[in-house]
Amino acid sequence: MNRNVVACAVASAVVGFCGYSFLGLYPTYLKTESGFSTTDVGLVAGMFAIGSMPGIPAGWLGDRFNPRWVLIIATGANMALGWLLFNVHTAPVGQALLSIGYGTLASGVLIVNLYALVQRSVSPGAVGRASGVFLAATYLPASVSGYAFAALQSAYGWGVAAAIQMTCLPVIGIAALLALDLRKLGKPTAAPTGA
């Protein structure tokens, strides 16, 4: 375990916490606050998964450019989308586009590049352990994220709850990314010829 693995774990925990609170309560928000039909809720919430499709080009961005800034920019954009999702009442098409955007950044950019970064932070013999740290850091906070978001929603309403959990909390992830020591990262390598 080194500084970069810890920084990636903290950033991954924030992504998991925010992402899974979104997945858990967004359908409830759409049904109760926006009055969407069950069919529209299923369609709009499911659009998040389409966002994972740009994972390959998003991974290329992290290989080609400074991964810290790729992740910080994606986190900042996701913070804005997290606020918009729960504070701007739009028709199903508008919410579907926001959901795709959030999924693109959370699954397609953040998860892909954090996973690559944690692997580049260790020697080849420790990639399995680093991957385990990444997965635990991402999914363990998810186990309480829906409860936390629901408690905030009960106390303050949807808009403020989203502002706290989906817009303010990711600042911790950005701080962790700023702590990365990029000099200690392994370089992405090209695939062997004939692979």
Q: Residue 50 — left, alpha, or beta (φ > 0 → left; ψ -120 to 50 → alpha)? A: alpha
CATH 1.20.1250.20 fits 3-183, yes or no: yes
Q: How far apart are CA 170 and CA 71, in angstroms?
A: 11
Domain ranges (residues) in the chain? 3-183
Q: What percent of the chain has pLDDT over 70?
A: 95
| pLDDT tens digit sequence for 119-168 | 999 998 999 999 999 999 999 999 999 999 999 999 999 999 999 999 99
Closest C-alpha to 176, from 52, 2, 6: 6
Structure tokens at 139: 């999914």
Q: Residue 194 — left, alpha, or beta (φ > 0 → left; ψ -120 to 50 → alpha)? A: left
| Banded model confidence at residue 189, pLDDT cuts 50, 70, 90 | low
Structure tokens at 188: 């992405």
